[in-house]
Each structure stands twice: as structure tokens, then as C-alpha cells.
Structure 1
Amino acid sequence: MTQAAKAPLARLPVTLRDVEAAADTLAGVVKRTNFDYSRTLSDIAGASLWFKFENLQFTATFKERGALNRLSALSADQRQRGVIAASAGNHAQGVAYHASRLSVPATIYVPVGTPTVKIENTRRHGATVIEGGATLEEASALATKHGRDERLTFIHPYDDPLIIAGQGTIALEMLASVPDLDVLIVPIGGGGLISGMAVAAKALKPDIEIIGVQAALYPSMYNVVKGKSLPMRGDTLAEGIAVKSPGWITSDIVRALVDDIVLVTERDVEHALSLLLTIEKTVTEGAGAAVLAAVLANPERFKGRKLGLVLSGGNIDTRLLSGVLTRQLAREGRLSQLRFDIVDRPGQLGAIVSVLGNAGANIVEVSHQRIFTDLPAKAVHLEVVIETRDRSHLASTIGLLKAANLHVNFDGPRDAR
């Protein structure tokens, strides 16, 4: 390691020794998750992709690493009084699970609108869950006041050296398995995960590149590091990294050690999530899929390099997951809605069904609308949802409908960007 590399590491509040100590604390309790090569996704990306499956932790999130490391440092009095935390879901589960294991009472504030699966899983671990605040920052303010009033120890989701050190153990495991990685690609919310991983990775391998990924709707750390003021708004699929204000400690570490931060669109995240499920057969939440989204959106940047990607969590609402997969099928031309304005007389629907059958398209759903339409009284608005093999099959199907003088309207899937 060069003197230039040693200097910033020496000044930081978290060191390699802290991360190694955290690894000892976590040993035998937190799962050492698989770090596997994906041949198919590597072929698609034009790079060598290795995935760290933190979505396969017991709580389906890396957050339990930092949570356990922090809880293990509580004094006997603090353990007896209990702890409090604020979280969009994953930190909540990590704190709740390990607090239960250690017989520490836990209270968790979550923002209103947090996915039900995360709330229910947190309650299942025995924590008291309180929904409050429209954002994580508001929930955190409520939790801080509650903790102060009740003399509970606040467990910060990211801006705590012990939390950061716990998350950094992921990098130790990745580099122990594949020492010649060129790049680590890590999602960023408040910055605890990438901070801990950067400390460990840069100490072990100074020339490794660390790339952070944020949702374009919530570029908080991107703004801090790059001196920008991009807006933060809206509902993102990657709600686990939708943090408006990154930590002070984490911001300093990211400035010192992280090489770059890239932003990904909602459509890119949806596409990546779908690929991980269909190709790797693994369920990730939006924050976890963001790392693959970054690679696929920047193929030239990563071409030919060996990449380590952290699939940070798998706690996604099943209804939302279903919607994402259906939208992806529409983008691929495999699921489409066709609209017809037809005369309301026998045989018209049969003619459409006949053409679709001959084209090899599968009819999923049919809807007639006679009342709520501006069409003449003898006309019907018909919507048909069909399955086709791909976009070319869809195009040929529409061509056959038009050749049969059936006036079909099809606008294609709406862009999710």
C-alpha cells in the first residue's frame, strides 16, 4: 500500500481492524453468504459478474451484520432498558432479530408506506413496530425523541462506526473468495454498507475500484460527493436506498475511498430485478437489483472486468414483484393489450379470436365495454390481452389482424423511466 493510500485510511473512524473484529463477533451467527459467478449474466454484460447473495441471510438483508455488531457492544444496563431504531424495513429486521436473540427489548419506527412484508417480518421477530413519518428522516426524528424520553439506546441504521464495521465484513468475505476482483459495486442509501466495504477492501487491495449505486430519484450521496443539487422525489422501487440525508461519518468515508457513484433509472432497476429472478432464480428487492442495473446501463465502463456485486436484500412485496415482472413481459413483447372498436353483432369476437389463434398468440383476458364509451350505440370497445413469444411475434400477430381488416390499436408498453 502506498503512503497516499495509507493516509486517508489512517484518519478514518473505521479501520480494517474494526471490520476484522466485527467478523469475529459475527462468526457462527450471521451467515457467510454465497459469492457466486453468473455465466449467463456475465455473457449479457460483457464482464465477469460475481454476486454476493446477502438476500439469502436469515432476515433476507445484509443489515443484520451491522445490527449484531452494534448490539453486541451494549452494556448490561443498555440491554436491560432496550433499544430503538428507525428503518425503511431491512435495518428494522436486523435489529429486531438479533435483539430478540440477545433478549434485548426493541422498538422500531418505520415510515408510513413501508412494504408490508418488512413490517410483518419485523413484528415476527418480537419487536414493537410503530409507523410514523412520511420519510425515513421523519421516522428517525420520532424514534430519537421516543428513545430519549424512554432512555432507550438508539441504533442508527448507518452512521455508526460499529454498524459500518459490521457491514464491511461482506468485503472481507468477497475478497477472501475471489482476491482478483477489479471492482466492487455496492448500493448506497445512507452509506453504511459501502463505507464499511470500502474501508476493508481498500486496506486489503488498494487498487480495487469501489463504485456506489443510487436510484436516480434519490441521489443524496451523489449530491454530497459531487457537489450537485439534483432533486429527490417520488416513489422508487429501490425504497431501501431512498435516503434523503446520508450520514456524516459515511459521507467522509465515501469521499475518501469510493471512486465513483452512478445513478440508475427505475426502468433499469426493474429490468435487473427481472433478470435476477428469471436467470439466477433469486428474489431481490429494488435496492439489491440496482447494482446489476448499473452494470447493464454502463456496459463499456465495465467491459471485460471482474466485478463483485452485492445483492443487498430480498424483502420485496409480492404484489410489487408481480407488477414488475408483468411490466417486463410487456416491454419484451410477451404480454400485450390490443384494443378494437368493433360492430356489436355476432361473429366479430370470433373473427378476432380466429386470427389470434392462427397467429399462435395466447388470449389471456377479454373485456367488452358497451356503456362507458364514446362509440356509437351499435359499436363495442374490445380489449384483449395476449401472450406472444417476443416482439417480432407480436408484430406479425398485429400484421395478421390488420390484413384481416380488423382495426387494432396498440401503443406498446409505457416507458417506466
Structure 2
Amino acid sequence: MTGQPLVQRDDVLAAREILADLLHRTPVESSDAFSDIAGAPVRMKCEHLQRTGSFKVRGALVRLARLSEDERRRGVVAASAGNHAQGVAWAARRLGIDAVVHMPADAAIPKVEATRSYGARVVLGGDRVEDALARAKLEAQQEGRTFIHPFDHPDVVAGQGTVGLEIMEQVPDVGTILVPTGGGGLVAGIAAAVPDDVRVVAVQAERASAYATSIARGEPVAVATTRTMADGIAVARPGDVPFGVLAARGTRVLTVSEDDLSRAVLSLAERAKQVVEPAGAAGIAALIAHRGAALAEVVDPGRPVVAVLSGGNVDPIVLRKVFRHGMSAAGRYLHLRCRLSDRPGSLVELLGAIAQVHADVVTIGHVRTGADLGVDETAVDIEVVTKGSQHSREVVEHVRAAGYVPIER
């Protein structure tokens, strides 16, 4: 793609005037633990503490504020996995505009309920955000509503870019900004807002990483995506507007795995006391995943790194699963299956062996039939919380020494 990017710093400055006194200037917090990982001072831009729980309300409010009177009268329609939905709903209520929001059928319940509480009509259906987008665009055509895109519009990108202006004021010597990225509205807005000597890095989930391919080809390319816990950045194709900004700047892209994301969410809760959804933790996940040479390529040791915590709207049930996944990825959660003689006392003996190494048994399940079990045998699935990878190895070795054949699952 060629030509001048559609969003410049002046556009972001103008967007800030619209948002003044309406939204929070979210805090920046430091972290010694993450600084040790990065080899540079790490700061966290806490957009999960923004109104509606994410940065999305910034772009939504700018976009809706610039609608004509006729457009406001006819109402708006949007599509989102949750954060953009809430941003549009909140902004629409603030401006007195009727709003309809399409969301995937399995959208997180707290996000759905919050969107409804802000006054929008929610329509659920389909498995992906792309399905919701298609339905929203169709309704815009049929009903005359204005479609509010979650990331592919100059007003939206400019609104998200106000995060970058605040970072520059709060951390003037920032060297690198790590930004969770799906369609690219937030990272493009920040890239447009900050000086060229600041490295802006887009962080994507491995299971939904379209930007690396798109930048290599020089145009937005749709890629196949698979389910990721980072539903807020699970986008198959970059937006044209944000892609133009990022391509012109030569933005670097890093990807993170599901294990990286879950460990980041867990680490943020434990070490920084911040409850963040998986998509919002992508920047911290990049610190964890790319420590060493890969991280050194984008981090200046003499200048701070800012990780944008982009959202905190997470279902408690999902959060529990993510914490469990994160503990497993960090070697602190062990799932064993052992075969026992089917006689009274066998389970007590096994649990005694585990207790001797001070591991905490969480759940126990019996499997009494199976092709690999003898008539006098039973299998026991045991979930154990340990103190880390070394302790997990000690548990397995001690159980084996006690005469059992544990299988890690």
C-alpha cells in the first residue's frame, strides 16, 4: 500500500479534544518483576481501568461524536467480541444515540450484560467476530444505521491514539511500547501519536496473527485463525486504515502462544495485582515469551518499556481456567494418572506418598474400566498444585520411587 497514512498526529490531538473530561486518564504503574525480565524499566499503561474496562471507548466516542445529526437520528450498529461493544454502547448512551450491537454467540457473559446495561440492544449469533461484522453491516444497509467499525476507520484509530499521547506525557523517555493487536486500531493510533524514535511493537496471539503475513506482502491479508483465549484480538484480517499507518512506520510484530498469554494473566495478578483479560495481557506475554535476544532487538536497555494493558473484561469462569492454564504452563499445576491395585487402602498409600513431598492435591477421579486396566486395577487421575517446575519433578520422582508409574497429563 502506498500514499500518506490516513491518521496523523494532528488527528490524534484533535480526538483528544473530544474526549477531554469524559474519559479517564488511566494510570501508569511500574513493575520490578517485569523489569527484571525485560532488562529495562517496565511500566504498564492501565487501560483496563478505563471506562467500560478497555481502551475501545476512546475510538467509539470520537467516531460517534462526529456523526451528523441525521446519522445520530437513524442510530448506529456495531459488532464486537465485547470491548468495542461496550465502548459503542456507553458512547451512544452518552450522546443519546440508539445502538444495536452484534456479538458472537459465545461472547463472554459479563461483556454481553455490560453492553446491555449501557442501553444497547445485543444480538447474539455465529462463532466468530467476522460473523458478527457481516450481520452488523447487513443491518446497516437494511435499516439505515451507521456501521461503527471496531478498528478500520480514521476516527476510531485517532481516538485510540490518545493512549499514545498520554504515554508520552506520563513516561517521556519511553523507548518501546508493546501493544496488544487484533485489527490494529490501537497500535496504529499509538504509532501515529508518538515520535519516530519510540519503537511501537504490535503483539498478536499466534492463533490469530495476520499482521506479520500482511506486512510481508505489503497489503492486508486474511489468515486462518483458530480459537484463542485472547478473543479481544482474534481478528483474521488487519484493517486497511491501521495497516497503512503501521506499514508506513515499519512496525515490528511479535506473536505469543496460549501458554504465554495465560502465564502473563497469572503473573499480572500475582506480581502486579492487576486483573487483565488475556488479550489485554499480550504485551506482558511478549516480555515473558521473547526474553533474551528477541526482546533485545526491540528494547533499549536505557529507556523504559511500556506494556499497554488494553482490557480487563474477563468472565470469572474464563479467568479461573486461564489461571489454571497459567499455573500449568509455569510448572505449578500437575495432572497425574496412576494405576493402582483395586483394594482398600491403595489410594491412601498413594496420597501419603504425595503428601510426603508437600504437594497439595486439588481433585481426585477414579477410572475403573479401560483397555489397559486389569480386572483388579483402577486408574486414578490426580490434580496437584506444586511450588514450581522443580517441585513438580520431585513429586513425580517420589511417586515413582514409591512404586507407582505416574503419567503426566
Q: Could you tell me the percent identity over the aligned residues? A: 38
Does residue 333 (structure 1) correspond to residue 331 (structure 2)? The answer is yes
Q: Which residue of 2 aligns with 1:198?
A: 191
Report the equivalent of 1:109. Answer: 102
- Aligned AA for 1:210? V
- The aligned counterpart of 1:5 is none
Tell me the SS of whatever aligns to 1:189. coil
Q: What residue number does 1:281 align with?
A: 273
TM-score for the superposition, normalised by structure 1? 0.90
The more displaced of 227-236 and 343-352 is: 227-236
Distance 2:254 2:395 in 1: 40
Question: Does residue 1:261 correspond to 2:253, yes or no?
Answer: yes
What amino acid is the match of 1:269? L
Q: Find the aligned partners of 1:192 and 1:400 in 2 and give their Cα distance.
A: 52
Q: Contact 1:338/1:384 (CA < 8 Å) preserved in 2?
A: yes
Partner of 2:362: 364
**Counterpart amino acid of residue 228 in structure 2:** T
Higher alpha-carbon deviation: 222-231 or 335-344: 222-231
CA contact (8 A) 2:6 2:244 kept: no
Which residue of 100, 114, 121 corresponds with 1:121? Answer: 114
CA distance, structure 1, for counterparts of residue 344 and residue 125 of structure 2: 57
Give the SS at the match of 2:119.
coil
Q: Is the 8 A contact 1:336 1:386 kept in 2?
A: yes
Counterparts in 2 of 1:217-296, with a 5 A limit?
Answer: 217-227=207-217, 231-296=223-288
Segments of structure 2 that go 5 or more residues without pairing to the other structure are: none
Q: Give 3-state SS (helix, strand or coil) of 2:197's partner.
A: coil
SS of alignment partner, residue 210 of structure 1 = strand
Matched to 1:126, the amino acid is G
User: Are 2:399 and 1:409 equivalent residues in the alignment?
Assistant: no
Task: Give 1:153's aligned residue.
Answer: 146
TM-score, normalized by length of structure 2? 0.92
The total of aligned residue pairs comes to 400
Q: Offset of 1:256 from its aligned partner?
A: 0.7
Q: What are the superposed Cα offsets for residues 348-388 of structure 1, whole Å, 9 maximum, x if unpaired?
A: 22222322222222222222332456422222222222232
**Structure 1 residue aligned with 2:351:** 353
Q: Partners of 1:241 and 1:34 in 2: how far apart?
A: 22
SS in 2 for 1:212: strand
- 1:185 aligns to what SS in structure 2? strand
Question: CA separation in 2, counterparts of 1:128 and 1:141?
Answer: 17
CA RMSD of aligned residues (A): 2.1
Out of 45, 54, 59, the position equivalent to 1:52 is 45
Q: Tell me the secondary structure at the aligned position of residue 408 of structure 1.
A: coil
Alpha-carbon contact 1:335-1:388 (below 8 Å) kept: yes
2:375 is matched with which residue? 377
Q: Is 1:25 aligned to residue 31 of structure 2?
A: no
- How far does residue 129 in structure 1 lie from its aligned partner after superposition? 0.8
CA–CA separation in structure 2 for the residues paired with 1:144 and 1:350: 61
2:349 and 2:125 mapped to 1: Cα distance? 55
Q: What are the ranges of 5 or more consecutive residues in structure 1 without an aligned counterpart?
A: 1-7, 413-417
**Residue of structure 1 equivalent to 2:320:** 322
Q: For 2:287, give the aligned amino acid.
A: V
Structure 1 SS opposite 2:51: coil
Aligned 8 A contact 1:108 1:129 in 2: yes
> Structure 2 CA distance, aligned partners of 1:384 and 1:135?
35
